A and B are shown apart, each in its own frame.
Chain A
Amino acid sequence: MADVMPTTAPGKLILLERIPPPVWVIGLVLLVMPAFASNFVLYQIFGWSFILGMIALSLMVLAGYGGMVSLIQMTVGALAGYVVAILGTSGVTDISLGWPWWLHIPIAILIATLFGTLVGTLAVRTEGIYTIMITLAIAAAFFYFTRQNYGIFNGYTGFNNVIPPRLFGIDWRQSVPFYYLTLGCAALSYGAVVWMARTPFGLALQGVRDNPRRMSALGFSVTAHRIAAYAFASVIAAVGGILLVWQNAQVVPGTAGIPQVIDILVIAVVGGLRRPIGPFIGAIIYTVLSVFSSDILHAFGMSGERFKLVIGLGFLAVVFFSPDGVLGLWEKYKARRDENRDPLLGGGR
């Protein structure tokens, strides 16, 4: 359709026309959600899903486009949260410096990005399982360091009362503002990732993923592209981390404990690593399961103690039926539906 438009049409319009109708519908539903969803669903289910989705999205960028499975993303987010608590305000007045938001938020994102890039610099020299090992090792070291360090990270107790600044007279921790805040950040991150994947850099990154040797023969620096991908992903993880800390009003070593680090991988894998929407789907499944699993057990007349079993079985089922996560299931379904169509005239995929 775009090609029949007059050449003077603004590029933006072409871009908007390319967005498929389902995206408009989902966008609209998400925008009017506060009209019919309870505060709990807005804040705890969707707010949390968007946040975890963003952090998992940063993993998706690395794993899906870069072929590097990094377990450091949660730690990058937690570090950003820690910096916000340390430079901004918190309940621990001995340590927090109380800097204004326009100073401490950019610095937090910057520091977390630097950290993520640094870890990336170390990790890109390894492949496959070794990338996982090295990033997991750094994540574990960060966890134990924050738990033992009392001067800066306040040890086991961490920081409480870390709340978002009162911008424009709005209390951003209220359900509806927080919902829109997280939705906005998630949508921006999603858009940024979709855009990035189509830039020359994104295409080169995917080339590096598929055949690093050939790319390097073509004159692309494999290492530089991978490190840049880490830097890009770290920004998203850092923003997600800050939102997470605001949501919980606290940051503790357990924010980036080993289970939480693994959870991000689980979310990304369950949702699907091939497309940026996957991590968000995985995050919604994760939050719904972890919030309601004990209720599900009770509904079947069992005691709620085994709630982790439900979560585990749910994930196992998804991975068993579709190695590509929930997105893979959808694509399988679509492929089967399209089978009956005429391959030449049916359009289909």
Chain B
Amino acid sequence: MKRFIGATAALALMLPGAAVAQDTIKVGILVALEGTFAAGGADGVRNVELALKKVGYMAGGKKIETVVAATDTTPATTTRQARKLIEQDKVDIILGPLSGSEGIAMRDYSKTVPDKTVINGISGALETTWVNPSPNFFRFNLDGSQWGSGLGAYVVNKKGWKRVATVSADYSFGYTNFLGFAVDFCKAGGEIAERLWVPLGSSDFAGVIAKLPDNVDAIYLGMGGTDSINFLNQYQQAGGKANLIGGTIMADSTVLSSKGKAKDALIGTPTSGPFAADNPAPEWQSYVKEYQDAFPADKRFPIPSLFGVGYHVATLAMISALNEVKGDLSDGQKKFHAALSKLKLQTPLGVVTLNENRQASGSVFITEVSDKGDGTLTNKMVGRVDNVTQTLGMTADAFRAMGLPSRTTPDCKALGGK
């Protein structure tokens, strides 16, 4: 027993995290590889590798080394794995995390390691960079509410859907993504008849489906991953035929590439998000080609997933800023932090800049799910809104007054809706 404890302790002490050479920069990839978003998380890792391979794992004249830390999307595991990356693996920079609550946990954790850097992977909670933002937490992707922006006006003006019921995931990203849609939708004069919330990772949606009202023009669905597929399956079995509006991760490629008929219910569904698969812009097209060439078809999605794009952009930001400071991470990484804040980053999604909260402003793409003719589904781009800011075009005060995303925010009437 004594010997056993000794051996275990010795094992724990010997494992990675010894000395790091001066000419190497260690990067931790903090990503969900278990649970609802496991498939998307794996795509995140692929995309970090893709970006690094392109520069030969060199940035700012230094060699880049990566360590993957797997989470299960719970904030506790995320903080634990982040501590492991910083304290045990001695990384300088963390790329990640993936989901909303993890992002908030990392904002708080990053404050305790001010001389390191966290570049968000794809987590989209508004609070992460809006409430007590951390000086060394940078987010080059739009947040969940920005992703929803533009969709509301689109469904009211182009589709003529003015009265909707909503079903969204009952957690911070669900609220935030819904808020972006609702702000726009209500401003355009829409009406939200009923707001329903389902727990993340549910498998039984029968109760919610039964509660959906009939007299609405469309149903907004704000779920993702396996939840989307489960919901659509049960919705079809229950005979549902209403028009659907998708939240950002409702019709992501992880859902559209799933097996079975469930996804067919999504045909014609408008969604919005940080990218469009068929975006004709050359920077996007060349990125997709690189992605497809880099991995065999059975080891990747047809096109990069939302999660993959997020981690890719984060890696690009890290590489650009490292090049700018010539790999100088001394003095508590101050120069690196300043370079990140001032980046005018060319990404596959267009130019991204950061605001004073180190939150990105950029483009939102509006897409519709369509059948490619051979039974596979794809998102067709139908619109693009550029330069969406953190406050969705409102003044900071007006945005603050609206309240943080929750089950009841925003108040549709206060925004001019019904």
Contact = CB atoms under 8 A, between A and B. Distances in A.
Interface of A: 22, 25-26, 29, 33, 36-41, 43-45, 48, 91, 144, 147-148, 150, 155-157, 160-161, 248-250, 252, 254-255, 257, 277, 281, 284-285, 288, 291-292, 294-295, 298, 303-305, 307-308, 326-327, 330
B16 A41 contact: no
Nearest to A143: B199
Nearest to B38: A305
B128 to A, nearest CB: 12
B33 interface: yes
Given A22-B2, A155-B170, A44 B199 contact: no
Given A40-B87, A45-B12, A254-B74, A157 B199 contact: no
Given A37-B13, A44-B84, A288 B8 contact: yes
Contacts of A281: 1, 4-5
B interface majority secondary structure: helix
A147 B75 CA distance: 14
Interface stretch (B100-108, B135-143, B255-263, B309-317): B100-108
B209 interface: no
A254 to B, nearest CB: 4
* 10 closest Cβ pairs, A-B complex: A40-B87, A156-B171, A254-B74, A40-B88, A248-B76, A304-B68, A22-B2, A305-B33, A45-B12, A294-B70
A204 B15 CA distance: 46
Interface of B: 1-2, 4-6, 8-9, 11-13, 15-17, 33-34, 38, 42, 45, 68-70, 74-76, 79-80, 83-84, 87-88, 101, 104-105, 108, 170-172, 199-200, 407
24 contacts: A37-B13, A39-B87, A40-B84, A41-B9, A41-B12, A144-B199, A147-B170, A156-B171, A161-B108, A250-B75, A250-B105, A252-B75, A252-B101, A257-B74, A277-B1, A281-B1, A281-B4, A284-B5, A291-B80, A291-B88, A292-B15, A295-B16, A304-B33, A304-B68
Contact of A156 (B5, B33, B88, B200): B200
Contacts of B2: 22, 25-26, 29
Nearest to A43: B83
B9 A37 contact: yes
A45 B199 CA distance: 32
B199 A147 contact: yes
Contacts, number: 118
B13 A38 contact: yes
Contact of B79 (A155, A248, A257, A292): A248
B87 A44 contact: yes
B299 to A, nearest CB: 10
Contacts of B104: 157, 160
Nearest to A251: B76
Contacts of A44: 80, 83-84, 87-88
B377 to A, nearest CB: 26
A298 B194 CA distance: 48
B258 to A, nearest CB: 18
B74 A160 contact: no
Contact of A148 (B12, B69, B108, B199): B199
Nearest to A44: B83
A38 B11 contact: no
B407 A160 contact: no
